[in-house]
Structure 1
Amino acid sequence: MKSSWLLTGLLALGLAASSPAMAKAFDVTILGAHGGLDDGNLSAYLLREEGAQTGVLLDAGTVLNGVDKADQAHAFVSIAGAGTLGYARSGRIVHQVIQGYLLSHAHLDHVAGLVAISPDDPGKPLYALPSVNAVLQEDLFNHRVWPNLGDRGVKPALGLLHYHDLIPGQSMALAHTALSVEAYPLSHGGVESTAFLLHSGQDALLYLGDTGPDALEAGHRLEALWSHVAPLIRTHRLRGIIIECSYDNSRPDTQLYGHLTPRWLLAELVALRASAGVSMRGFPILVAHIKPRLSEGKSAEALIGEELRAGNDEGYAFTIARQGAVWRP
């Protein structure tokens, strides 16, 4: 069993502690963690092989502000060019470290940062399912909402961004990194979203965009995804999962709009464990896309953390995503 699976404990509310001697396959720098409302802290996860100087951004709700926040938290100490300061340093991360964008769907909390930075970030590939790229080119980069900086769509297509359509289940190498990706469709309240299975050598990491549970989405897309990744769990090659949990359990099922609560997240993880047929005790899971509560009382993170802890009979190693942190599954 890989060392990363030996992390025990029912729930980590910050970053899970680990020994420097433990082998790591991935660095995930959290540029944006929230699932809405907080426009400077929206879904964006910079994935690199450990120690690599380049990587890709998993969704792009927040880019430049997320880079600044992560840099203030010393998340980029291993990146060359530490002598630069301010926007020049942030620009180096954006231009040279982020080598492409993997977009799970085109909702604004997943693409707003990309749109904002796009005029100053030319040449970048946009990796997405065809349905997602179609929304970007028809409804966003269309010279009405925003200039068409892409290489197809409404003329003139300025060609600063390059669309790459991902075929479900087929591997695609990610340019200027040692990573590859497979995309799998998810159901998000009537919108097609995406799970990305990232590979680095023999190791893999699974990132899920917004998704509802199969039972409410009237489909089997999570079931199909679990069957795809189950062999990686059995052979201890899947290093971790990033998955949403937007609301606490007080949210009615009729108002989830294609999202998960702790109850539904735990139910889906039970289905994953059953598909894998092995214990997942200590398996690293980053809980993402929590929507902030604009009311008195406990934070959404605290409530969701408590509910996950209370129902965590399988002993998953949950970590709550927080902007600026680095997660190393």
Structure 2
Amino acid sequence: MTQKMHPLSELSLKLESWLQSWLGVRPHRLPGAARSGAREPAASAGPTYVDPNPHFEILALGSRSGIIDGNLSAYMIRPLNRNEAVLCDAGTVGNGLKLAQASGTLDDIPLPPDPDSSLDLAGRVLTETIRAYCISHAHLDHVAGLVLTSPDDTPKPIYLLPQTRKLIAENLFNNEIWGNMGNMGARPALGKYTYRDMTPGEVQEIPHTSFRLQAWPLSHGNLTSTAFLLDSDGQKLLYLGDTQHDQAGGEHQLLTLWHHVAPAIRARRLHGLMIETTYPNSQPVTQLRAHLTPRLLLASLHQLADICGGERPLEGLNVICTHVKETFARDAHPVETIEKELNEGNDLGVHFLMARQGERYLV
């Protein structure tokens, strides 16, 4: 049964959001969003964060990396007040939707009434609201949910770079590990999912949505990962899959990406940047496994600021930090540690938010 928020709490959140917009105050986490010492805060129906002028809702169906198999990278992104969404990565899908249903965070999606449907709310959001997948790379913590929910899903396009499509078609949807749900590869091909290969920088329109999509490659060890730029009604949101810092003498994929998105930042049309921060600064450089730390992320954001030009060009930019790796280490709190290190080094005026499963961010 869907849990409803207490009317007074709901009124408080609505009033908070209205005051933010009316007074033009600096964006912040809403009351109760931060819970000291909590490894993974419980979701609530109200948003965790509200920008003064939001266009998108980001719902973290899964936000972590590593050992938490029920909480892996998957972000449902939809324009506010619309029954349409895309899923950026799909490490955890079914579990994330079930948790969101239980907490009430799916209740404001304007699904049309369907008394004849046999599906619960989570099932209807999967089959009706989510219109496409954007898969950054083929590591299991980014695709496991896509595979596991596929028998209950409806036909959809999957947007990805050709390198990623090849790995998924050959190693997951191959009629050996799992039935071939795609439209290419091993026969028989069931064709539930249609692969849409992306060319870097090329714009593709996602059918039955207001979204236009662009993709650029990212370096991630021996794999190519992907950054997706989502555009709805001229408003933009940037999602990056796993990425490493640009290496001296190597490819400079992040620098190339920053040049492409800088105009949207200068025009104040980029509502948020979602980027991994997998390890705290204490992680040895030799054990980063092609990921970022707060120190490396801040260095890259400084590059972005230099490209944008002007005085403090990133001030107020929402930077949602994803993919924090869980650990078995005693008394370790990586989310809190990374958040502290980011804020201590933040001389850019960006607004850091740590992604947590079940939480909603209006940006």
Same fold by TM-score greater than 0.5 = yes
What percent of counterpart residues are identical? 42
**Aligned equivalent of 1:183:** 215
Query: Structure 2: how far apart are the matches of 1:42 and 1:86?
Result: 28
CA distance in 1, matches of 2:140, 2:168: 10
Aligned to 1:28: 58
Instruction: Verify the 8 A CA contact 2:49 2:360 in the aligned structure 1.
Output: no
Q: CA deviation at 1:82?
A: 8.1
Match of 2:153 among 75, 97, 121: 121
For residue 72 of structure 1, report the CA deviation from its aligned partner: 2.4
Letter in 1 for 2:67: L
The equivalent of 2:191 in structure 1 is 159
Aligned-partner Cα distance in 2 for 1:31–1:263: 27
Match of 2:64, SS state, is: coil
Of 201, 205, 209, the residue aligned with 2:233 is 201
Contact 2:28 2:50 (C-alpha < 8 Å) held by counterparts = no
Render the CA deviation track for 1:66-119: whole Å, top value 9, x for unaligned.
Answer: 011122232112123689899622110100011111000010000000000111
- Alpha-carbon contact 2:62-2:70 (below 8 Å) kept: yes
Root mean square deviation of aligned Cα? 2.3
Structure 1 position 65 matched with structure 2 position 91: no
- Structure 1 residue 173 corresponds to structure 2 residue 233: no
Match of 1:321 among 355, 360, 363: 355
Q: Distance in 2 between the 1:82 and 1:255 partners?
A: 51
Matches of 2:175 and 2:316 in 1, distance apart?
49
C-alpha separation in 1, matches of 2:188 and 2:60: 35
Corresponding residue of 1:303: 337
Does 2:319 match 1:282? no
Distance in 2, matches of 1:198 and 1:83, equals 30
For the residues of structure 2 that align with 1:77 and 1:226, how far apart are their CA atoms?
A: 36
Q: Which structure 2 segments of 5+ residues have no match?
A: 1-20, 36-46
| 8 A contact 1:73–1:325 mirrored in 2 | no
Secondary structure of the 1:215 match is coil
CA contact (8 A) 2:106 2:121 kept: no
In structure 1, how many angstroms separate the alpha carbons of the residues matched to 2:118 and 2:250? 48
One-letter amino acid matched to 2:197:
D
TM-aligned CA distance change 1:94 to 1:312, over 3 Å: same
Query: What corresponds to 2:276 in structure 1?
Result: 244
CA distance, structure 2, for counterparts of residue 117 and residue 223 of structure 1: 36
Gaps of 5+ in 1: none
The TM-score, its normalising length taken from structure 1, stands at: 0.93
60-69 or 271-280: which moved more?
A: 271-280
- What letter matches 2:175 in structure 1? H
The one-letter code matched in structure 2 to 1:47 is I
| Residue matched to 1:134 | 166
1:206-221 correspondence to structure 2 within 5 Å: 206-215=238-247, 218-221=250-253
| Residues 146-192 of structure 1 deviation map (CA, whole Å, 9 limit, x = unaligned) | 11111110111111211111111000011211011100000001210
User: C-alpha distance in 2, partners of 1:16/1:73?
Assistant: 13
Structure 1 residue 35, shift from structure 2 partner: 1.6
- Distance in 2 (CA, whole Å) between partners of 1:86 and 1:303 is 44
Change (3 A) 1:291 1:216: farther
Q: Secondary structure at the match of 1:274?
A: helix
Query: Is the Cα contact below 8 Å between 1:187 and 1:217 reproduced in 2?
Result: no
Does the Cα contact within 8 Å between 2:28 and 2:49 map onto a contact in 1? no
What stretches of structure 1 move > 6 A for 4+ residues in a row? 82-86
Give, in angstroms, the shift of residue 293 of structure 1: 2.0
Per the TM alignment, residue 262 of structure 1 is displaced from its structure 2 partner at its CA by: 0.5
The structure-2 alpha-carbon separation of the partners of 1:17 and 1:114, relative to structure 1 and needing over 3 Å to count, comes to closer
Q: Which amino acid aligns with 1:314?
A: L
Partner of 1:272: helix, strand, or coil?
helix
* Higher CA-based Rg: 2
1:9 to partner: Cα distance? 7.0
From 86, 107, 114, the equivalent of 1:56 is 86
CA positional deviation for 1:298: 3.6
User: Does the 8 Å CA contact 1:7/1:317 hold for their aligned counterparts?
Assistant: no
How high is the TM-score relative to the length of structure 2? 0.84
Q: Find the residue that maps to 1:23 and give its secondary structure.
A: coil
Residue 42 (str. 1) matches residue 76 (str. 2): no
| More RCO (CA 8 Å, sep 6+) | 1
Cα distance in 1 for partners of 2:49, 2:131 equals 29
Q: 1:31·1:41 contact (CA, 8 Å) conserved in 2?
A: yes
User: Which residue type is aligned with residue 184 of structure 2?
Assistant: R
- 1:7 aligned partner, one-letter code: R
Looking at structure 2, the residues matched to 160 and 234 of structure 1 have their Cα atoms a distance apart, in angstroms, of 40
Q: Work out whether residues 82 and 89 of structure 1, in 8 Å CA contact, stay in contact via their aligned partners in 2.
A: no
